[in-house]
């Protein structure tokens, strides 16, 4: 019998908004929903000029598929530069992988789809992140473009390390733009409602409210370790947050639906700022105060050790 024909290859891309959690926290759910809807509309406008399909939208993310990997790369570059490279919006990040998949109804399933989503989760604003398979399949479309190797990376439930490559937006497209440090909206000089200088660096803000938040606690956004908030989140860091959420659920501090929602945000977080927001408002564990003289001694101990415990918690958050 002849060998079976090789399975068709598809390139899957997940595009989403970098800093969406920060924007929703700063401006509210209604503003976040409006931004997500505008993002989906603009993705569809760009998609109309390419031989690719929108598979589905998931919150602030859109899943796309193209039979031709070169088409997928061209589409991803336009999404980053045209949809996310404009003032007044959030930056866009894209993750891509090429491989076989199975279609069921209007959706696609398979390891290639799952890996593309994982790759997108570690991309940063203004970046198209792809696997070695996509790089090889789209070699002609990538000719002449600067592709930076990031080395192998491990993903949960993926047996072998995945080699990643980053394609950044052209520098001239982002030189004049800067992100509001509070809500992460990208601003030019003309769009900034308020401009402040902190530690010799200019900071632009989309509103008086964001400027006031920054002025009240600049170290939260730009202080020691704040530059670490834009670093990619490791799988180990996600697992630590997931374990913490599990303990909160078992302790009665989270309902099942809220646990599920926070876990989804945990595994979708790309940078440390997104991950920190998952547990920032987590209900604290109630401690039962002992009765009688032991209770008074317990309160004295809590008061005396409070500064030390605060420093320990701060170090854990920075890891």
For all residues of the chain together, what is the average pLDDT?
83
Using DSSP's 3-state secondary structure scheme, residue 223 falls into coil
Predicted local distance difference test score (pLDDT) of residue 58: 87
Write the pLDDT tens digit of every residue in 217-246.
887 787 544 444 455 566 778 888 888 888
Tens of pLDDT, residues 259-284: 888 888 787 766 666 777 788 778 76
- Give 103-117 pLDDT, tens digit per residue: 998 899 999 999 999
Per-residue b/e over 73-93, b at no fewer than 16 CB within 10 Å?
A: bbbbbbbbbebbbbbebbbbb
Q: Are 8 and 40 in contact (CB under 8 A)?
A: no
Per residue in 125-177, pLDDT tens?
889 999 999 999 999 999 888 888 888 888 888 888 999 999 865 544 444 57
Give the chain's domains with CATH numbers: 10-173 (3.30.70.1230), 178-217 (no CATH), 235-318 (no CATH)
Predicted pLDDT of residue 319: 54
């Amino acid at each position: 019998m002849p060998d079976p024909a090789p399975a068709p290859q598809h390139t899957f891309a997940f595009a989403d908004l970098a800093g969406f959690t920060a924007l929703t926290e700063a401006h509210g759910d209604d503003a976040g929903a409006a931004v997500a809807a505008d993002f989906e509309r603009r993705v569809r406008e760009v998609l109309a000029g390419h031989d690719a399909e929108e598979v589905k939208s998931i919150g602030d993310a859109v899943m796309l598929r193209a039979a031709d990997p070169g088409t997928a790369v061209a589409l991803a570059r336009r999404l980053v530069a045209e949809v996310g490279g404009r003032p007044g919006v959030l930056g866009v990040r894209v993750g891509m992988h090429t491989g076989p998949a199975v279609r069921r109804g209007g959706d696609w399933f398979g390891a290639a789809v799952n890996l593309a989503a994982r790759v997108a989760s570690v991309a940063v604003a203004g970046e198209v992140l792809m696997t070695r398979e996509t790089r090889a399949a789209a070699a002609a479309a990538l000719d002449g473009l600067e592709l930076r190797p990031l080395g192998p990376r491990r993903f949960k439930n993926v047996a072998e390390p995945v080699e990643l490559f980053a394609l950044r937006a052209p520098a001239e497209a982002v030189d004049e733009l800067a992100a509001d440090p509070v809500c992460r909206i990208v601003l030019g000089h003309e769009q900034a409602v308020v401009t402040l200088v902190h530690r010799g660096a200019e900071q632009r803000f989309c509103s008086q409210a964001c400027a006031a938040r920054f002025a009240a606690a600049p170290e939260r956004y730009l202080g020691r370790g704040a530059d670490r908030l834009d670093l990619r989140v490791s799988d180990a860091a996600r697992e630590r947050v997931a374990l913490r959420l599990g303990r909160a659920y078992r302790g009665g501090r989270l309902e099942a639906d809220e646990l599920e929602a926070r876990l989804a945000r945990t595994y979708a977080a790309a940078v440390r700022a997104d991950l920190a927001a998952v547990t920032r408002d987590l209900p604290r564990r109630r401690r039962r105060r002992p009765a009688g003289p032991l209770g008074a001694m317990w309160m004295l101990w809590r008061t005396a050790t409070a500064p030390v415990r605060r420093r320990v918690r701060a170090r854990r958050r920075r890891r």
